[in-house]
Structure 1
Amino acid sequence: MSMFKLAFMNFKNSMRNYLSLIFSLAFTVLVLYNFQNLISSGVLDRLGIHNAEYVEMILQIITFVLGCFMFFFVWYSTNVFLTKRKKEIGIYIFTGLTNERIGKLYVIETLLIGGLALTLGLVFGILTTRLFQMMISSLSDLSIQIGFQISFRSILITSAIYGAIYMLFVIKGYVSIVRSSVLDMISAAKQNEYVHEPKCFLIVKAILGTALTLSGCLLAVKEGGMEVMRNLLLSVILVVVGIYFLFGGLIPLIFQTCSKHKKFLYQKERCLWINNVIFRIRKNYRTYAMVSVLLLCSVTALAAAFAMQARYKNIIHFRNMYTYQVLGTQDGLNSQILSSIEQDNDVKLHADTPLLIFDPSLIETLYKNNIYSAVPYSRIKQLAKETGIPFNLPEPADNEFINLSNPPLMSLITTKTDVTLTLNHKTYHQIAESYEPYLGIFEEQMSFYVMNDTEYERLRAIGQEAYLYNYQIHQPKQYQASTDELESLIASNPAQPLSYVAVDPKNSDIEWIKVLFSVCLFMFLVFVCASGSILFMKLYNDAFDDRAKYEVLQKLGFSKETLRKAIQNELRFTYMAPFLVMTAGSYFAVLSLSKMMQTPLFSINLLSVLFIFIILYFCYRISIVIYIRNSQIRS
C-alpha cells in the first residue's frame, strides 16, 4: 500500500475526530477571505477616495491582526493534532517503517486536513461574500450597491497566507516526528501531563503574574500626555505576560493547595475532577491564557466600535450646529448677513459673539494651534441660551480659563488636571473643557479660551477684536442657495476682511468611521467564536484521552450521574477561568479606551461580558454532551 493511500485511509477513518479542527481552520479562512475580498471588490471606491483610503488602511491592519491570530490558532491546532497522532502513527514503527516515512505519512494526512479546511473556507467564504458586504453596509448605514463577485486576487492572497502558516507547522511536525524515539511517540499524549511543581516556583510565578497584570491594568488607565501611547503598549505586554504567569502559577498553586485539604477534596466528587485539572494544567494553561487574551481583545473591539459610533454622532452634531459662520473684524453685521441668507433660506436661529485674536508668539500651551482667541464668559452663556445648547460651565476667575474644543475621534492626551495656558507671561489654569458646539466648526480651526468679562476687557490691549456670526437654516441641504449672496456681501466690504464657512450636511469625509464600527463589531464576534471553538476543540480531543480513566471509574462502581457531575465541574473550570480573568481585565481595558475616546463605555463593557458569558455557556453545555459521548460513559 502506498503512503498516500495509507494516509488517505487514516484520514477517512478518523474524519469524525477531525471535524472540530477542520471547521475551526475553515472559519479562519472564511473570515480572512471576506476581509480581503472587501478590499479587492471595489466596493470601497464608492465611498470616495478619501474614505476608501482610510478604510483600506484599516482593513489591511485588521488583515495583519487576523494573520497573527491565524498563526497562533494554526500553531495550537497542529500541536493538538500532532500530539494525538504521534501515538497512533507511532505504532507503524513496529511494522518496519522508518521515522522519515512515518513523518511523510503525517505530512500527507495533515495536508489533506489543511487542504479540506482551505477548500471549505474559500467555498463558504465565496458563498457568504455578498452577505458579509451587506452586513457591513447595513451596520455602517451606507448606501452602496453590492453585487456578487468572486475575487481571484483575494483567493490567492488568502491561500498564500494560510498556506505559508500551515506549511510552517506541518514541517515543524515532520521534524518533530523524525527526531522522536519510539517511546516519545507512543507516550506523546502523556508528555504534557503536569507533575507537581515545587511550591516555591508556583509562588514566584503567582506573585509575578499578579504584579505584572495589576501593573499593566493600572498603567493602562493612568492619565497623561503624549506618553499615554507608550503606557498603552507597555500595559499590553505586561497584561499578556501577567496572564500567562497567572495560569502558569497562581491557578495551579490554588488547586494544589486545595487538593491537600482532604475535607475540601472529598466533598461533592471534587476528588474526581480537581486532580484531573491539576494533572492537565501544564498542557492547558497556555490555552487558557491565549483564550483570555482573545476574549479581552473582543471586549475591547466591541467597546471601540460603540465608542467610534458615539464619536461619529457627536462630530456630525458638532459640525451641523450652524449652517453658515462668518468671521470678521466689523461689529453690527448681523442684520446684513441675515438679510442675505433670508433671500433664499429661512433662518432657524442666529447668534454672534465678540472675540480677541492673539499673536501666537504670546501663547505657550500644550495644545498647539495656528490661531488663538479669547471669548467673554457672559457672551458664551447668552449664546447658549439663544441657541438652546446646554450650559453648565462655571465662571472662571482672573487666572483661570475654560477650553472650548471640537470633539476628537480619539485623544492620546488623557490628563485633565494641571493644564495651564501662558498668555503674555501670565499663567492661567484650565478649570473645565467643553465639547459643546458653542462656536461651531470654527472650534476645529481655532483655539477658544473662555475668560471672565473682567479679564477679557484687560486683554483687549494685546488682542485684535473680531466677531463671529452664526446661522442655522431650516433646510440645511439647501445651503448652497445662499452662498452667492454671502460671497457678494464679502466682496462688497473690501475694507473689512470677512471669511465664511458653509457646512454641507452631506459631507462624507468621515464616513470611514461608520465602516470601522461595523468592522470592530465583526472582529468582536470573530474573537468570541474563536475563543469558544478553541476551548471546545480542546475538550473534544481531551475526551478521547480520558476514555481509559472513565472506563476504570465505571468498573469501580461510579454511576454515570456521578461522573457527569465531575465532568461538569471540570469543564466549568475550563470555560470559567478565562472568562473571569477576561472580566477583570476588561474593566481596565474599556476604562482606558473610554478616557481616550472621551465616551462612557461601562454599559458596553457589561453587555459584552454578558454576551460572552452566554456564548461560552452555550459551548459549555454542548461540550458536556460531546465529552460524555467521546469518553464513552455508559448508563
Structure 2
Amino acid sequence: MYSKLAFRNLKRSFKDYAIYFLTLIFGVCIFYAFNSIESQGIMLELSEVQKAAFGLVDQVMGYASVFISFVLAFLIIYANNYLIKRRKKEFGVYMTLGMDKGKLSKILFIETLLVGVISLAIGLVFGIIISQGLSLLTAKMFQVKISHFKFVYSYSAMIKTIISFGIIYVLVLMFNSVSIGKVQLIDLLNSSKKNENIKVRNVWVSVFTFIISLVMIGLAYYKVLDNGASTIGINGPSILLGAGGTFLFFFSLSGFLLKLVQSNKRLYLKNLNMFVLRQINSKINTVFISMSFICLLLFTGICMLAGGLGISSALNSDLKDLTQHDLTIINYDGVNIEEYFKEKGLVLGDYSDDYVNYINYKSDLKYNDIIKEEDRKELKDLYPIATNSEVQIISLSKFNELMKMDNKKEISLNPGEYSIFSDIKEANKALNTVIKEDKEININGNILKPSDNKVIELVAYNDIMKNNICTIIVNDNIVSDLTPYTSYVNMSFKNDDSKIIIAKIKEVNKISGDTYFVSNDKESLFASSSSMGATIAYLGIYMGGIFLITSAAVLALQQLSESTNNISRYNLLKKIGVDEKLINKSLLIQIAIYFLMPLSLALIHSIAGLEFSKRVITMFGSISIMKNVLIALAVLVVIYGGYFISTYFGAKKNINNSI
C-alpha cells in the first residue's frame, strides 16, 4: 500500500514538478563530469610532466566538489522543503483518514529513495556522455592531440557521485522526518490558507534605508576599483560592504515598493496589477532574504564564468613569449649562478654553448621616483607600482647578451645615460613618457638621463607570467657598487640536456644551504600554464554554472509552490469574471518581477565585478574579456531564461488545471 502511494505521488511529482527532478539530474550530471577529468587522460598524448599537471587539475576539481556538494545539498533540501509545504494539505488528508506520522514518514522515505535512484541513474548517464565532450576542451587547454577516441567512464567519479548524493538524500530523509514529526493536523489542513505575518514598515524609514543601501553599494564599487587588482587581499571589507548593501536594498525595497506603485493609481489599478503586487507583498518577510542571496549568487556566477575563462585564455596568450629559452635558472638571493655552480662541480659550458648568466641589481630608486602620479593611478593594478617597490637595474653588457641570444639588435649608451626595457605592454606608455620628458634618475649617486631609445620590449626569462614592469639599463661601471637582487641563467640546448641540468640543480639545492635555485624549463612551463589555465577555467565553469543553476532553481521552485498555494485566489478571480488570458498575463508579470529583481541588481554588480576581473586577467596576460563576458551572458540567458520559461508554463498549468 505504502509503495503504491509512493509510486503514485512520484508519478504526479514528475508531472507537476519536473524542474525539481531536472535540477537533481543536472546536479548529478555536472558533478560526475567534472570529477571524471582524470579518466580523460588515456585519450590524450601527454608527456610525463603534462600527466603530473593533469593530475593536479583533477585534484583541485576534487576539492572544489566538496564545496559544490554543500551548495547542492542546500539546493536539494531547500527544494524538498518547498515540495513538503506544497503537499501539506495532502498529508493532512492522509492523517484524517487515520494514517499516523510514522507511516507518513515511511511514504516519504520510499519517495525520496525512488527520487534518489532515478536522478542518480539518469544524471550519471548524461554525465558520462558530457564527459566525453569535456575531453575535447581539455585537449585544447593542454594544447595536445587526442591520440585515439575512446568512450570512457570514471569508476572513482561514479562512486564519489553516488556517495555525495547518497549523503544528501539521507539529510533530506532526516529533514522530512523532523518536519512531519513537528506538524499538527490542523496546520496541514489549513496551510494553503495561511499567509506570512506581514510586518508593515514605515515608508520613510524604508526610503532612508534604500538610500543608505545605494551609498553602501556605490562605496563598495569605488573601494574595490580604486584599490586595484594588485591589492585584492584588502578588498574583504569592501565586499562585505557591498553584500550588506544588497541585503538592505531588497529589505528597503520590499517596504516601500507597494506604496510607490500605489501612488500611481493609473498603474496600480490597471488590469490585475493590484492583485500581483498584493501577491508579492504577502511574502514580504522572506522575499528580501532570498532575493539578496540569489542576487549575490548570480553576480558570483557571472564573474566566475567570465573571469575563469578569461584568465585561462590570458595564460595561454603569452605562453610563447614566456618560453623562448629551453631553460631558465633563477636565484632570488642574487648569487652569481654560473660561478656558484662551478664551485659545486656543475659547469654550464659543458652542456650549452648558448647561455647568458646575468644579475639584476637593486638601488634606492623606486617606481614613484620615475613614473608620474597620474600614470601610477592608471597602473595601480600592477603590484610593484601599487606598493612602490624598488626598480631593478641591469648592466648594458649583460642586456646586450640577452638581446643577442634573442636575435635582436644590441643598444649603446653614452656616459650618464640609461635606457628601459619591459615585458608589460600596459606600462609602455608611462615608461615612454619618462623618456620623452627626459626624466633624471639617481642611482647610487649617479645622475642619469634617458637615452634616445624608446622602451625596449623583451621577455628576459622563462616564467609562468610576465612580471617585468620596468628594468633600468645602465653602463657597467654603475652596477659595480650596487647590491645584487635576482640572478638568472638563460640556456639553449642542441640536444635535450635540460633534464640533466634540472636533475643536477636539484642535487645542488640539497647542499646549497640557505640559497635556492629555481629551474623553469620550456616543457614544464607549458604543462604548468596549461594546468593552471584548465584549473581556473574549469572552476569558473563548474562553480559559476552551479551558482546560476542554484539561483534559477530556487526562484523557480518558489514560484511553482506559490502558484499552487494560490490556486484558491486565482479561482476567486475566475468566479468574479476575470478571463483566463488576463490571469495568465498577471501570472507572467508576477514571475517576471521575481526573476528580474535579483537579476537586475546582479547585472549592475557584474559591471563593477567584470571590470575588476578584467584587471586581474591583465596581470596574467593581454587579452580582451568581451568574448568571455558574452559567453557568460549566453550561459546566463540559457539557464536563467530556461528556468523562467519553464516556471511560467509549469505555474500556468498548475493554475489552469485547477480552476
Give the TM bin, normalised by the shorter chain.
Answer: 0.7 to 0.9
Equivalent residue runs for 1:52-451 within 5 Å: 52-138=54-140, 141-145=143-147, 147-189=150-192, 191=194, 193=196, 195-199=198-202, 202=206, 206=210, 209-210=213-214, 212-223=216-227, 228-231=232-235, 233-267=236-270, 269-321=272-324, 357-358=360-361, 373-374=393-394, 404=422, 436-441=457-462, 449-451=470-472
Displacement, 1:139? 5.8
Paired letter, 1:229: G
In the aligned structure 2, how far is the partner of 1:160 from the partner of 1:153? Answer: 11
Structure 1 pair 608/256, CA: closer, same or farther in 2 (3 Å)? farther
In the aligned structure 1, how far is the partner of 2:137 from the partner of 2:307? Answer: 18
In the aligned structure 2, how far is the partner of 1:620 from the partner of 1:442? Answer: 46
In the aligned structure 1, how far is the partner of 2:396 from the partner of 2:189? Answer: 83
Structure 1 pair 467/151, CA: closer, same or farther in 2 (3 Å)? closer
Residue in 2 that maps onto 1:480: 494
Displacement, 1:622? 4.3
Q: What's the C-alpha RMSD, in Å, of the aligned pairs?
A: 5.1
Displacement, 1:512? 0.6
Q: Structure 1: which 5+ residue stretches go unaligned?
A: 331-336, 343-349, 390-394, 409-420, 473-478, 488-499
Whether the aligned pair in 1 keeps the contact of 2:225 and 2:612 (CA below 8 Å) is yes
1:547 to 2:567 alignment: yes
- Secondary structure in structure 1 of the residue aligned to 2:394: strand
In the aligned structure 2, how far is the partner of 1:255 from the partner of 1:163? Answer: 44
Determine which of 597, 618, 622 is the counterpart of 1:577.
597
1:510 to 2:529 alignment: yes
Of residues 163-172 and 524-533 in structure 1, the stretch that sits farther from structure 2 once superposed is: 524-533
Residue in 2 that maps onto 1:22: 21
Q: 1:482-540: per-residue Cα shift (whole Å, max 9, x none)?
A: 989xx9xxxxxxxxxxxx99856994332213423551463344444444444334333
Alignment coverage as a number of residue pairs: 570
Determine which of 583, 593, 600 is the counterpart of 1:563.
583
1:609 to 2:633 alignment: yes
Equivalent residue runs for 1:456-471 within 5 Å: 458-462=478-482
In the aligned structure 1, how far is the partner of 2:564 from the partner of 2:54? Answer: 50
Residue in 2 that maps onto 1:8: 7
TM-score scaled to structure 1, two decimals?
A: 0.73
- Secondary structure in structure 2 of the residue aligned to 1:441: coil
- Secondary structure in structure 1 of the residue aligned to 2:529: coil
In the aligned structure 1, how far is the partner of 2:109 from the partner of 2:160? Answer: 23
Q: 1:172-221: per-residue Cα shift (whole Å, max 9, x none)?
A: 23212211122322233455646253236745764665455445444433
In the aligned structure 2, how far is the partner of 1:440 from the partner of 1:81? Answer: 60
- Secondary structure in structure 1 of the residue aligned to 2:87: helix
- Secondary structure in structure 2 of the residue aligned to 1:374: strand
Whether the aligned pair in 1 keeps the contact of 2:360 and 2:393 (CA below 8 Å) is yes
Residue in 1 that maps onto 2:654: 630
Paired letter, 2:227: E
Structure 1 pair 108/130, CA: closer, same or farther in 2 (3 Å)? same
Structure 1 pair 373/328, CA: closer, same or farther in 2 (3 Å)? farther
Structure 1 pair 219/554, CA: closer, same or farther in 2 (3 Å)? same
Displacement, 1:316? 1.0
Structure 1 pair 40/355, CA: closer, same or farther in 2 (3 Å)? closer
Whether the aligned pair in 2 keeps the contact of 1:291 and 1:531 (CA below 8 Å) is yes
In the aligned structure 1, how far is the partner of 2:70 from the partner of 2:445? Answer: 52
Paired letter, 2:7: F
- Secondary structure in structure 2 of the residue aligned to 1:143: coil
TM-score scaled to structure 2, two decimals?
A: 0.71
Paired letter, 1:573: I
Structure 1 pair 90/375, CA: closer, same or farther in 2 (3 Å)? farther
Structure 1 pair 138/321, CA: closer, same or farther in 2 (3 Å)? closer
Q: Which has the higher contact order (CA 8 A, sep 6+)?
A: 2
- Identical residues among aligned pairs (%): 16
Q: 1:40-59: per-residue Cα shift (whole Å, max 9, x none)?
A: 66659946354134313321
Displacement, 1:144? 4.2
Equivalent residue runs for 1:479-498 within 5 Å: 480=494
Whether the aligned pair in 1 keeps the contact of 2:196 and 2:285 (CA below 8 Å) is yes
